[in-house]
Amino acid sequence: MKLVTAGESHGKTLTGIIEGLPSNLKIDIDAVNRYLALRQSGYGRGARQKIESDKIEILSGVRNLLTLGSPLAFEVRNRDYQNWSGAMAPEGCDTSLKTLTKVRPGHADLTGMIKYGQTDARNVLERASARETAIRVAAGSIMRQYLSALGVQISGYAKSVCGICDDSLYAFEQLEAAKSQPLFMLDCKKQEAAMALIDKLKAEGDTAGGVIEIRVKGLKSGFGSCMQYTTKLDAILCGAMMSVQAIKGVEVGLGFKAADLRGSAVHDEIYYDNKFYRKTNNAGGIEGGMSNGEEIVLRAAMKPIPTLMRGLQTVDYLTKEPQTAASERSDVAAICAAEIVLESVVATALAQTVAERLGGDTMQEVKERYQKLK
């Protein structure tokens, strides 16, 4: 199974192709659109979310809501393109209308311009933009339906926002309630404090990051492999999460805390009562690069959004003179969007790993093979 995406932030459309989906997977388009809407939600978002109203349009690979086994092509249109066509049209346009040379710290602008031989950061930032994640959410929502058909569920919540941290432990069934909260936090008092901080940061022209926890329930043991470093499940999932814009750190289970504890307090002891089980899950559901049947627990650290409305110090790429970085259009916080994107990329990476092990041309074959696993 393979996903390829294309499209620019202010181009005509974002496009994706999923290759390798089995036939007869029922596609719930409303569910895909729900996750696309959630990606645009959250306290602290900017004006772009008021312009776009993301919806998936399936172009091929599905008939009467069932996959055909052929490549599934889909798109999410950029409504804002109508305001940018004069500067972005591939058929010909006036690029001077939206030229950007005051490169922004924390973005791909400067390094990308040097790498790709550009003199206008617009030719880099349009693809590097987090707007690209809309198509990955659409893809991940389809992959989620593939996993759901096997009984595998994915959810998550915002664990902290700009240092305001919720240290409580939650059952998987409690996590979905976060989606109805303004910051996807489950502790209301911590969330109120975080919202107040976001208001303060907005007034100061600053931004916030945070920590997001993603959990996977229902995955059987043995996915991923210890036989080759490229096939380790934790490497695959962490790599997928690190591919998301603004993510600067990922941990599994105890993660970095494990480095501070003695071995007897870290490793999950094994018991047997008609089946093997563990009383703890410090490993986060992955041992030796393979799922062990416990919940997979992942956390990602999101840096503050690098586009600050008050601007950071930089230089103009062409003149080399000191400048204040361009603000473009920016959010103060996008923790909710990041949570949805992270769920989606985990779904995609996990679906690809599951499909690699199970194979199957039809969903019936896939289900039968999954049910036979211990």
pLDDT digits (tens, 9 = 90+) for 68-93: 999 999 999 999 999 999 999 999 99
Q: What is the rounded CA–CA span in Å between residue 181 and residue 179?
A: 6
**Domain with 109 in it:** 2-371
CB 296 within 8 A of CB 245: no
What is the per-residue pLDDT for 50?
58
Q: Which helix (H) or strand (E) holds 338?
A: helix 335-358
Report in angstroms the alpha-carbon separations of 160 from 88, 252, 263. Answer: 37, 17, 27
Domain of residue 160, CATH code: 3.60.150.10
CB 242 within 8 A of CB 341: no
Q: Tokens 């998936």, residue?
A: 56
Q: What's the pTM?
A: 0.95
HEC string of 34-102 equals: HHHHHHCCCCCCCCHHHHCCCCEEEEECEECCEECCCCEEEEEECCCHHHHHHHHCCCCCCHHHHCCCE
Number of domains comprising the chain: 1
Q: Backbone phi, then psi, for 117, in 5-degree steps?
A: 65, 40
Check pLDDT > 90 for residue 168. Answer: yes
Q: What is the mean pLDDT of residues 201-215?
A: 94
What is the per-residue pLDDT for 47?
57
